[in-house]
Structure 1
Amino acid sequence: MNLHSGTYYWPATFPDAPSYPSLDQDLNCDVLIIGGGSSGAQCAYYLASHRLDVVVVEKGKIGFGSTITNTALIQYSGEKMFTDLIHTFGEEYISRHARLLKEAIDEIEEASKTVDLDFEFSRRDTLYSASSKEDVSPLKKEYEWLKQQGFKLDFWDQNKIKAHYPFSREAAIYSYDDGELNPFKFTHALLGWAAKRGAEVYEETEVNGHYYDREQKRMVVSTKTGHSIRARRVIFAAGYDGIDVKKEKKASFVSTYTVTTSPVDDLSTWHNRTLIWETARPYLYLRTTADNRVLIGGLDDNTTYSEDRDSKLVHKKKKLIEELETLFPGLNVKPEYYSTAFYGGTVDGLPIVGRYDDYPDSYFLFAFGDNGTVYSQLLAKLIAEDIRDGHSADLDLYRQDRPLLGNQ
């Protein structure tokens, strides 16, 4: 899959990122993780400290897949409101899902204090605004449900928004203690931590086949370098490339666009440097970076053809800067990096852990959706629990065959 094109900010923040060798021998291990992006790194982080032999293979360079286009807004709320998800899954189901997402953010913060490399995690508040008058009522309903669940947030009217920002909206949920991070450093930080605890990491090692050895009860995975890895468990954490391995009918794709600006001298009009997004679909989203840039993205397009996607990049870049200047006049920004990428979601609004009969003892981590980093943290932890303990109480919430309301 041609995942993305353009110019990329995140690798420029860590030009001396470590490199890893390519695989040059056959291996046996407890867990093979296929994918060296943030999802694979999150899996390695949870598994490497539990006396398990862990191997990570990446077909390219570590962190250069979808990770370099990840905007890394760390939030529990997602594109589909919890109050809408309840209609599909039921309230108890979604209450648990919401709490697990909040815990995943806490786990990311804990990782920031555990690993050696600073991946620029900061707690940030979020402004989630109504894009039209018609959106105010469902936004208020979402606020009331989250408040009942114990989340820390307020409901702002138009006057309060105008008092804190240079733009106006009908209403907004103002939520506390979300976050942001640098996804490229995050990936290297977690993998570096895992490697120090015995995990073996290999770059430029592309998988090209597999079979199941029923006698030894192991997956045998072959690579293009001519070697094989025998593993008790396999985690396919290859992001959107995982769909090329196993089609998942719940997954859907669009194209999205992102601009990272030059550093901004004065962000004083940006209240608390909040994460910003909106109810419109497709929506715009904004955040700042550790070196005072603005990252703005959105203007999603329904095309799934890379040539069509790429042809629109220059126009979308211009439109994103215009949107930014409308929201924050006077920032005097320039688009220093800009890119386009495929963006995956799911038809029912929840991420997926795929368990398929034709891939015994394997997991497919499909953390698709606008909260991909948070989803990955959650799913990586549950998969690690299932491997380590033989069961994870919450894993069934995210299986591809999870029950829908009325089918439970």
Structure 2
Amino acid sequence: MRYVAGNCLWTAQTTIPKQYSYLTTDLQTEVVIVGGGLAGAITAYQFAKAGIQTVLVERTIIGYLSTRASTSILQYEIDTNMVQLQSMYGIDAAVRSFQLCFDAVSDLEKVIQTLDDDCEFSRSPCLYYSPKKNDVRWLEREFNLRRKHGFPVEWIQSEQDNERFSFPIAGGILSTDGAGTVNPYRLTHALLREAEKAGAKIYENTDIDKIYDEPSNGQTKVTTQHGFHITAKKIVICTGYEAKNLIRGQRLGSLARTFNIVTKPYPEVPGWYDRCIIRDTDEPYTYVRSTNDQRIIIGGEDVNAGGVSSKISNLDDEDPLVEQQYNRLLAKLQELFPQLQVQPSDIEFQYHALFNNTKDGLPFIGQVDYYPNCYFNLGYGSNGILSVLTGSKLLLDLYQGKKSPDLDLFHFQR
């Protein structure tokens, strides 16, 4: 599969901060983490900072798969609305799922304060809106349910807010807290630097060939492609979509390819209130964020990928579909902010990547019976960063003998 293609903003702006060696010997540790993207990095950080002997292995270069293509919009809102989650799992589970994401924004801010890099973290309001009058009724239901359960929301309509927004809004929910943005590539490396200071060992270009789970002696062993072994009490799988190969008889989600374009810096953008995160209600939806250097990132135009061998899963940059999706994003950007008069020459980065959706928008975190010494921290869906942060805390508690009831929200049997 071609996970990422194009010129990604985050890695174009940042040279590789550190090259880690590949594994050349057998090791014994308490916990081995498989996956060196943001999910693995934040999990390694949590375990190492707790004083647990930790080894992380990445099959390619640290942070160079899905992480570098992440838009890194941090928001408590889940792709599946609270009203929909309530109908699926009940109101308590729906509210708790939203609350965990809300709390994770503050948790991430606290984590970043312990690092040697601010990782361009910034809080931001978030607008969830529709230009269609037919959507107003259900959006109002969603707004009222969130407000009832204490989330900081404001109802928005363009006839009342034409000074704040330059595009038509039939109805919208402006969340004044619980959202933000970050640079995912810098965050990944900063987390691993801190984990390494706490004693973690990190290896890249180290592919795991096989997992041996031995419940009789309470240990697991992984073997690399070159035949080296890592023996541990627990293994934590943080490999995103690739983890599907370990899960038996269950479809974990569906693959899609999303597209992003990034403009030159615009210090002033008329009609963009507080440079807030923007997400519409279309299917697939469009999302917009700002960067610290005042660029605009707009993404979406997702295409279902099907299987791993499909054309979309292996999409080449030269395929006409790629240019078509980029052009559609540019047209949407021009509609949102007409006064900017953005031209094709103003687009400085464009890229596309695969991601995994779940039927309920929630991640998979926890264990499966047939791998008793393995944990999984799979941040599927649009809230991946916040999900894996939550997952890292839940799995650390589980390792330390404190199983949280929140794990029931993210189990594999749902």
Bucket of the pairwise TM-score, normalised by the shorter protein: over 0.9
* TM-score, normalised relative to structure 2: 0.93
Measure the CA separation in 1 of the matches of 2:124 and 2:164. 15
State how 1:317-328 maps to structure 2 within 5 Å: 317-328=326-337
How far has the Cα of 1:118 moved from its partner?
A: 1.8
Measure the CA separation in 1 of the matches of 2:402 and 2:171.
46
SS of 2:128's equivalent in the other structure is strand
Deviation at 1:214, TM superposition (A): 4.1
User: Counterpart of 1:401 in structure 2: which amino acid?
Assistant: Q
* CA distance, structure 1, for counterparts of residue 410 and residue 283 of structure 2: 24
Range moving further from structure 2, 351-360 or 4-13: 351-360
1:349 corresponds to which of 351, 361, 365? 361
Query: In structure 2, how many angstroms separate the alpha carbons of the residues matched to 1:127 and 1:199?
Result: 39
Which residue does the alignment assign to 1:182?
Answer: 183
CA deviation vs aligned residue, 1:5-47 (integer Å, no higher than 9, x gap): 1111111232141221111111111111100001011111211
The Cα shift of 1:237 comes to 0.2
State the distance in 2 between where 1:342 and 1:389 align: 35
Q: Return the offset for 1:120.
A: 0.7
Question: Given the alignment of the two structures, is residue 340 of structure 1 paired with residue 349 of structure 2, yes or no?
Answer: no
Q: CA deviation at 1:150?
A: 0.9
**Given the alignment, which residue of 375, 381, 388 partners 1:376?**
388
Change in CA separation of 1:186 and 1:138 when aligned onto 2, cut-off 3 Å: same
Partner of 1:388: 400
Q: How does 1:142-161 map to 2 (within 5 A)?
A: 142-161=142-161
| Contact 1:129–1:173 (Cα < 8 Å) also in 2 | yes
8 Å CA contact retained: 1:50, 1:388: no
Q: Is the 8 Å Cα contact of residues 156 and 169 (structure 2) preserved in structure 1?
A: no
Match of 1:313 among 303, 319, 322: 322
The residue type equivalent to 1:372 in the other structure is G
- What is the aligned partner in structure 1 of residue 234 from structure 2? 233
In structure 1, give the amino acid aligned to 2:323: V
Structure 1 counterpart of 2:126: 126
Query: Deviation of residue 349 (structure 1)?
Result: 2.7
Alignment-derived partner of residue 208 in structure 1: 209
User: Tell me, what secondary structure is at the counterpart of 1:357?
Assistant: coil
Match of 2:48 in 1: 48
Using structure 1 for the length normalisation, give the TM-score: 0.94
Gaps of 5+ in 1: 403-408
Which of 240, 243, 268 is residue 266 of structure 1 equivalent to? 268
Of residues 253, 256, 263 in structure 2, which corresponds to 1:254? 256
Give the aligned partner of residue 98 of structure 2: 98
Q: State how far apart, in whole Å, the 1-side matches of 2:201 and 2:139 are.
A: 46
From 360, 370, 374, the equivalent of 1:358 is 370
Tell me the distance in 1 between the aligned counterparts of 2:189 and 2:161: 38
| Alpha-carbon distance in structure 1 between the residues aligned to 2:146 and 2:162 | 24
Q: 2: distance between equivalents of 1:280 and 1:317?
A: 17
Q: Secondary structure at the match of 1:375?
A: helix
Find the aligned partners of 1:148 and 1:58 in 2 and give their Cα distance: 44
- Structure 2 match to 1:136: 136
Q: Give the Cα–Cα distance (whole angstroms) in 2 for the partners of residues 245 and 338 of structure 1.
A: 33
Deviations 1:228-259 (A, max 9, x none): 10010111101122223436423112221111
Q: What secondary structure, in the 3-state scheme, does the structure 2 residue paired with 1:394 have?
A: helix
1:158 offset after TM fit, Å? 2.3
CA distance in 1, matches of 2:122, 2:100: 20
For 1:300, give the aligned amino acid: D
Q: CA RMSD in A?
A: 1.6
Identity %: 32
Distance 2:4 2:326 in 1: 15
Instruction: Name the SS of the counterpart of 2:175 in structure 1.
Output: strand
Structure 2 equivalent of residue 405 of structure 1? none
Matching of residue 275 in structure 1 with residue 296 in structure 2: no
Partners in 1 of 2:270 and 2:196 — Cα distance?
A: 41
| Matched-pair contact (CA < 8 Å) for 2:366–2:407 | no
Q: Larger deviation: 14-23 or 218-227?
A: 14-23
The answer to whether the 8 A contact 1:317-1:335 is kept is no
Structure 2: gaps (5+ residues)? none
